[in-house]
Structure 1
Amino acid sequence: MNASIIKTIFFGGFITTLLFSCSSDDEPSINPTEGLTKISEAYANGAAAKVEIWAAEELFAGYNPIYLFITDSLTGETITDAHITLSPLMTMATMSHSCPVEVTEGEAVNDLFPAAILFSMASGEMGSWSLEAHIDNHLKNLSGSAAFDIEVKATTPSRVSVFQSEAGQKYYLSYMFPKGMKVGVNDFEVVAYTTKNGEFVPVETLSIEFTPAMPAMDHGSPNNANPTYVASGHYMGKANFTMTGEWRLNLALTDGETSLGTRSFDIVVN
């Protein structure tokens, strides 16, 4: 998969906070995590690295772009050349399971390693999430893992849909607005995963018919664009909101020749 495409997907609406330009020694250094929320930090034993996890907001059930800031645990030097493997785990009373993960290949961008996790459910009475980040520190040719206890909140309305086709195939669906939501035409992104041989794999054959509506006002909007495939389970389209208020994103889904019905997400446009 083309790393530059995925990096563009991950950074989405947050690119403005991460712009970097060359500066002379007398200019102030730029904080790469400015505007982001620190989720957690831990040391990767064996890799001589401290790992910080950052995101635009607290982790939630749905698609979460995240950023890893890695430094040398002794000198504090920023590590920009590393290989990262993320392993989220939901531990429940009688079982445990993971969820879809995306990690880019290559060096850090503006000192941050972009990644994403599609959490299928929230933390709570049913179980708790943990996260392991395995780091191959190319700076010192060392490797080790950092363990994080993380909290994944539920959102109202929900930003994730987990469902099965009539044939029993499981799907994981979420969405995001890379540049935020506003009245007018917005970039709209759908993320879809399924499972194959026990592994999470991106869905690359979806057809999506997108219809936004305002149930309370009994109307929709013109000038929308159906999300179409971009890369690795990501589909990009356009959503036109003609006014503020509560909207419903209706997604009629077909995977190849298989109809998956209509999945809907409720949102509020301010």
Structure 2
Amino acid sequence: MRKIFALVCVAIALCTYTSCKSKNNDPKPGIETPAKSQLGTASTTDYIITLYADTPLLFTGYNRLYVKVQDATGAVSSTANVSIHPLMEMSTMSHSTPYEQVSYDAATGLYSGAAVFIMPTADDDAWKMEVTVNGQKVAIPVTVGTFPTKVISISMGSDNTTYIVSLLRPATWKVGMNDVEFTVHKITDMMNFPALDNLTIEMTPEMPSMGHGSPNNISPVSTGKGHYKGKVNYTMTGDWRLHLKVSDASGTVLLQDAFIDILF
């Protein structure tokens, strides 16, 4: 089992950089707007369950997800016990991915959560979102494409643990100071990807094509539940690389040079 798990980790890392024979070989990133995009719907004996996202397509990396629950009459429920579980069915095995459990958001009338997809949909492998409402489960198929730039970093740490660093994509970037946010998870097995808090992240922006960085950046700090927030200063449009040095609470460097690529 340990050998199989190691091979899966290698495959996940490779699929992050390639389409992995994705059905969406060159997906175009959607523009995130307040209007949610419906990904699919399914029904149980008592409920109609609809899955939404910020964009029409899901991508490798961090994706916000939303669930609407309606009873048989179509009335929207705000008191149901709702949970999600992303699952990829492969030809020889199944695995999950890091995700954030949903909770009800009164502002939208939806149950809000997220998933960090670690590989795209492939010809023989398919993602689905299992949604359970008051004990009644449905499975909604979803398609995951490869984002045009590297918004997720999957790499082996100095402690031989595989870490997943993912950028939360904003609707737009701008020249000047921008809020920036990441999540950090580790792989313990093929179904468990715990979020990590209390790490130290040193962020160094670089513009590779121009050979310079930028001043006045604020490295991300832990805000809980595996999230880290900081600020990045883009002095011009173009290609940017955010170098991330990640250390644990004792100061041991876990990742020397994880990185995320930005283009705007």
Gaps of 5+ in 1: 1-12, 18-34, 137-142
1:139 counterpart residue number: none
Mean Cα displacement is larger for which, 119-128 or 192-201?
Answer: 192-201
Distance 2:102 2:215 in 1: 36
Equivalent-residue separation in structure 2 for 1:187 and 1:126 (angstroms): 38
What is aligned with 1:228? Answer: 221
**Residue 147 (structure 2) pairs with residue 155 (structure 1):** yes
Look up the match of 2:62: 63
Change (3 A) 1:106 1:156: closer
How many residues are paired up? 230
Report the secondary structure of 2:150's partner residue. Answer: coil
Deviates more, 1:123-132 or 1:224-233: 123-132
Equivalent-residue separation in structure 1 for 2:171 and 2:105 (angstroms):
25
* CA–CA separation in structure 1 for the residues paired with 2:111 and 2:196: 24
Q: Which residue of 2 aligns with 1:29?
A: none
Shift of 1:178: 4.1
Q: Work out the CA distance in 2 between the residues paired with 1:76 and 1:154.
A: 35
Partner residue of 2:94?
A: 96
Match of residue 190 from structure 1: 182
Aligned to 2:262: 267
Query: How far apart, CA to CA, are the structure 1 residues paired with 2:103 and 2:167?
Result: 23
Deviations 1:205-227 (A, max 9, x none): 32111111111111111111000
Aligned to 2:82: 84
Q: CA separation in 1, counterparts of 2:232 and 2:186?
A: 25
Q: Deviations over 1:131-169 (max 9, x none)?
A: 110112xxxxxx301211110111122221222223321
- Aligned counterparts of 1:254 and 1:78: Cα–Cα separation in 2: 45
Equivalent position SS for 1:86? strand
**With structure 2 as the length reference, what TM-score do the two structures score?**
0.81
Identity %: 34
2:39 alignment partner AA? I
Q: Which residue of 2 aligns with 1:36?
A: 36
More strand by share: 1
2 CA distance for matches of 1:80 and 1:108?
A: 8
Cα distance in 1, alignment partners of residues 227 and 154 from structure 2: 16
TM-score (norm 1): 0.79
SS of corresponding position for 1:200: coil
AA of the residue aligned to 1:158: K
1:134 to 132, 135, 152: 132
Q: 1:180 aligns with which of 172, 175, 179?
A: 172
- Consecutive unaligned residues of structure 2, counting only runs of 5 or more, are 1-30
One-letter code of the match for 2:157? S
Look up the SS of the partner of 1:222 in the other structure. Answer: coil
Q: Secondary structure of the residue that 1:181 maps to in structure 2?
A: coil
Offset of residue 95 of structure 1: 2.3
